[in-house]
Amino acid sequence: MLSTLVLALLTLRIARSQRMPSTSQMLVISGAVFALSLLVSVLPFMGAGNYSYSGEGFCYIDWYDNTSSAIMLTIVIPTFLAVISIDVAALANGWWPRLLIVCMALAFVSAWCLWIPAAFIGLSGGTFPDGYMITGAVLGHAQALINPLLYGIWWRKTLLKKSARQAVTAGGKDFTPEQPAP
């Protein structure tokens, strides 16, 4: 989720022909995303939240646990709104291919859309509809197939094609595909 936010921000910066973060800045950002993700995943082992059997074949966070749901809402809602807003801003810019940005937004929404209602269902003590958790699992884990194609191939190919026509600034230095960024 957070790595998609980073890619959305990079896409918007590229679309606006703004300076790209330096390699060291990207290493710090990537490290922070990884560290925060690791922290959230181990919180139940440190007494903040729980994992529980979902009833549909796998363990997941315990949506009925107030701490777990509150942590998820604290991260998911702002990130969800930010990614969608950034994608809309990139669409409005018009420099980046519209279909690619729409696919980026749809992939993101499909992966995370069920987490927000899940947290509210859990916090209210409600009942999850049959198939809700397995649907979330399929949509979320489908990203392991979608994201390499979407970002690793299509996004990167678009970036290289665009940067061949217009230099992209990285860390204060211009580069093209033939001249890698420092």
Which residues 6+ apart lie within 8 Å of 172 measured at CB? 19, 22
Fold of 2-167: Rhopdopsin 7-helix transmembrane proteins (1.20.1070)
Per DSSP, 52 falls in state: E
Tell me if 44 sits within 8 A of 51, measured CB to CB. Answer: yes
- In percent, the amount of the chain with pLDDT more than 70 equals 88
Structure tokens at 74: 């604290």
Q: Can you state the angle between helices 66-93 and 2-15, rounded to 10 degrees?
A: 20
SS3 16: coil
Extents of the domains making up the chain: 2-167
CB atoms near residue 116 (< 10 Å):
14
Residue 180 pLDDT exceeds 60: no
Interval 121-134: pLDDT, tens: 999 999 999 999 89
Nearest to 111 by CA among 83, 70, 87: 83
* pTM listed for this prediction: 0.81
pLDDT band at residue 16, thresholds of 50, 70 and 90?
Answer: confident
Burial class from Cβ neighbours inside 10 Å (0-12, 13-18, 19+) for residue 58 reads exposed
The answer, yes or no, to whether residue 175 has pLDDT greater than 60, is no
Task: Specify which residues 176 forms β-bridges with.
Answer: 179
pLDDT tens digits for range 134-174: 999 899 999 999 999 999 999 999 988 877 665 544 454 54
Q: Which of 78-82, 92-96, 121-125, 165-169 has the lowest average pLDDT? A: 165-169
